[in-house]
């Protein structure tokens, strides 16, 4: 078993959290979300299967979103970068062995004006502090 101290993955820009689920009483993945999941797997190819991170440590993560920030008329687009994090963290948790978004101790979200429409995800293991399990008395 080989653990990687740092993993960088490039994914297509996900839908906003507002478009991930449909349904009222019972939520289910929307068509748009399912399509993005397929694109994300396709864009990574075999890259994801080669990475494994230590499941017993904390993670420092950084997601850099490359997306258009301006309309053609020069006005700012209303894009809340926090609304794009959920799909990315869940995808990484489902596809990188040992990664669990509950172990993210530090999360940095950056958005950069670009026509690229992708997100560069960096996961780094934090070795300086052991993971402490809370005990229920």
Which CATH number fits the domain that encloses residue 31? 3.30.1330.70
Question: Within a domain: residue 132?
Answer: no
**What are φ and ψ of residue 108, in 5° steps?**
-115, 125
Instruction: Quickly state the pLDDT bin for 136 (edges 50, 70, 90).
Output: very low
Q: What length is written for the chain?
A: 137
Strand partners, 106: 60
> Biggest alpha carbon distance in the chain?
60
Kindly indicate the confidence band of residue 135, based on its pLDDT and cuts at 50, 70 and 90.
Answer: very low
The mean predicted confidence, pLDDT, of the chain is 86
Q: How many CB atoms within 10 Å of residue 122? A: 15
Tell me, yes or no, whether 11 lies in a domain: yes
b/e per residue, 56-85, with b = 16+ CB within 10 A? ebbbebebbbbbeeeeeeeeeeeeebeebb
- Convert the pLDDT of each residue in 20-58 to its tens digit: 887 766 778 899 999 999 999 999 888 878 888 888 889
Question: For the chain, how many structural domains are there in total?
Answer: 1
Q: Which domain holds residue 40?
A: 6-126
131 is a domain residue? no
Asked if the structure places residue 133 within a domain, the reply is no
């Amino acid at each position: 078993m080989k653990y990687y101290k740092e993993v960088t993955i490039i994914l297509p820009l996900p839908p906003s959290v507002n478009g991930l689920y449909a349904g009222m009483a019972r939520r289910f993945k929307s068509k748009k979300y399912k399509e993005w999941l397929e694109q994300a797997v396709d864009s990574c190819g075999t890259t994801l299967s080669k990475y494994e991170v230590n499941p017993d440590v904390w993670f420092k993560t950084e997601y850099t979103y490359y997306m258009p920030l301006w309309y053609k008329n020069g006005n700012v687009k209303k894009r809340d970068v926090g609304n794009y994090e959920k799909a990315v963290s869940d995808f990484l948790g489902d596809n990188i062995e040992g990664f669990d978004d509950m172990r993210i101790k530090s999360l940095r979200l950056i958005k950069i004006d670009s026509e690229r429409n992708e997100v560069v995800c960096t996961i780094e293991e934090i070795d300086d502090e052991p993971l402490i399990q809370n005990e229920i008395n």
